[in-house]
Amino acid sequence: MKIPPNQLSARLEKSLLPCYLVSGDEPLLVQEALDAIRAAARAAGYGSRERFVAATGFDWQELTAAGGNLSLFAEKRILDLSLPTGKPGKQGAAAIIDTVAQAGDDLLLLVAAPKLDRNNAAAKWVKALDASGAVVQVWPVARRELPAWIGARMRALDLNADRDAVQLVADRVEGNLLAAQQEIEKLRLLLGPGTVSAAQVNRAVADSSRFDVYKLVDAAVGGDAPRALRILDGVHAEGIDAVIVMWALARELRSLARLADSVGRGTELGAAMHKCGVWRGRQDLVRACVGRHRGADFYRLLQAVRRADAAAKGQQGGDPWQLATEIVLALAGDRALAA
């Protein structure tokens, strides 16, 4: 059966089905749907969870064997399968269908996949999940719907925000639902329950330029050096501490270094990005960046960020903003930073 995401919680309170497929390209909403199903399963006594990621080279017999294994103590189990591409192939499709047939009172199959195209949605493995359980298709929140979405989320946390306050949050997050949720939670922490005005949002989110820092990182990772430098100049002019910029760059570079290492060990980049939690909307940027750099470049840039961070904190000489400019240019380009 098809279950809309906004009806999932109510359906889970009534009954737990043997299997679920959650698909979509909105990471926050997909994760929330998966978490809701897992929580309902735990409440129903499913105490064991086995996780599988069907990346390139995955042995589908592992899933089939796990479905057929009988627990010595008859423990209820969750088989948690992630499909990074949404295309399990012939062998994978057969394994999923077999596992669906085995799912029941003591075995729950939970499958996560990106948005399914028309062909995939009509595949036999999807139909098997639909017939025996439920398919939860998560759709992105349209830009015009974002203020209403934010308002509803704020009300759920006892924040009664006026229209201007809601619009201010919507403008700043630029459609990023995860950033929006984080911002709402931050407002709840800082302001407590009650009414929220635009002025309060402005004061509480005095560091709103951190979104500009995120844009800076995305521009550099995406190879748009002119835009990255414009954003860096703007962040500097607004008086943002260079330490914040270094934190954001270091965080991204550590992720890029891990991805490059995984690819070097033979892992397909798409699977590595999924495992590292790279949002689907950023995967093209990250793929391009990993493609134009060597893994050693990211570690060299991390060392440069550490020096710039020390300069920003007065622990060593140097202009942190000049160092930041060099780092951003190297990350946005296809050259390594000089040692």
pLDDT at position 49 is: 86
- pLDDT score of 18: 92
Q: Which of 83, 145, 74, 148 is nearest to 107 (CA)?
A: 74
Q: In CATH, which superfamily holds the domain spanning 5-137?
A: P-loop containing nucleotide triphosphate hydrolases (3.40.50.300)
256, with CB counted inside 10 A (0-12, 13-18, 19+), is buried
pLDDT digits (tens, 9 = 90+) for 250-270: 989 999 999 999 888 888 988
Q: Who's near 51: CB < 8 A, 6+ residues apart? A: 80, 81, 82
Q: What percent of the chain has pLDDT over 70?
A: 94
Residue 78's DSSP bridge partners are 49, 108
Q: Give the C-alpha separation, 203 to 212, whole Å.
A: 17
Q: How far apart are CA 154 and CA 164, in angstroms?
A: 13
Burial state string for 1-22 with b = 16 or more CB within 10 A and e = fewer than 16: eebebeebeebbeeebbbbbbb
pLDDT mean over 211-236: 86
Fold (CATH) for 211-332: Zinc Finger, Delta Prime; domain 3 (1.20.272)
Report the SS3 class of residue 21.
strand
pLDDT on residue 208 = 47
Residue 111 pLDDT grade (very low, low, confident, very high; cuts 50, 70, 90): very high
Q: How confident is the model at residue 89 (pLDDT cuts 50, 70, 90)?
A: confident
Band (337; pLDDT cuts 50, 70, 90): low
pLDDT of residue 241: 80
pLDDT, the chain, mean: 86
Confidence class for position 207, pLDDT limits 50, 70, 90:
very low
Question: Higher model confidence: residue 253 or residue 173?
Answer: 253
Residue 110 has pLDDT above 90, yes or no: yes
- The residue extents of the domains of the chain are 5-137, 143-204, 211-332
Matching CATH topology for 5-137 and 211-332?
Answer: no
DSSP 270-302: HHHHHHHT--GGGHHHHHHHHHHS-HHHHHHHH
Q: Is the pLDDT of residue 211 over 60?
A: no
The pLDDT of residue 34: 92
Q: 225-243, pLDDT tens digit by residue?
A: 998 898 888 888 777 788 8
> 131: helix, coil or strand?
helix
| φ, ψ of residue 320 in degrees (nearest 5) | -60, -30
And the tokens for 18? 């043997």
Other C-beta atoms closer than 10 Å to the C-beta of 274 total 21
> Which of 112, 36, 126 shows the shortest CA–CA distance to 277?
112
Tell me what pLDDT residue 191 has: 82
Please, are residues 117 and 84 in contact by the beta-carbon 8 Å criterion? Answer: no
Has residue 210 got a pLDDT over 60?
A: no
- Identify the pLDDT of residue 94: 93
pLDDT at residue number 339: 45
How do strand 134-137 and strand 107-113 relate by DSSP bridges?
A: unpaired
Q: What pLDDT does 172 receive?
A: 74
pLDDT tens digit sequence for 299-333: 999 999 999 989 988 888 889 999 999 999 999 98
For 116-167, what is each residue's pLDDT tens digit? 888 888 889 999 999 999 999 998 888 889 999 999 999 999 999 988 889 8
Among 2.60.120.10, 3.30.1240.10, 1.10.3720.10, 1.10.8.60, name the CATH number for the domain at 143-204: 1.10.8.60
- Model confidence over 269-281: pLDDT tens digits? 888 888 777 777 7
Tell me the C-alpha distance between 8 and 110, whole Å.
Answer: 14
Q: Kindly report the pTM of this predicted structure.
A: 0.59
Distance CA 265, CA 256 (A): 14
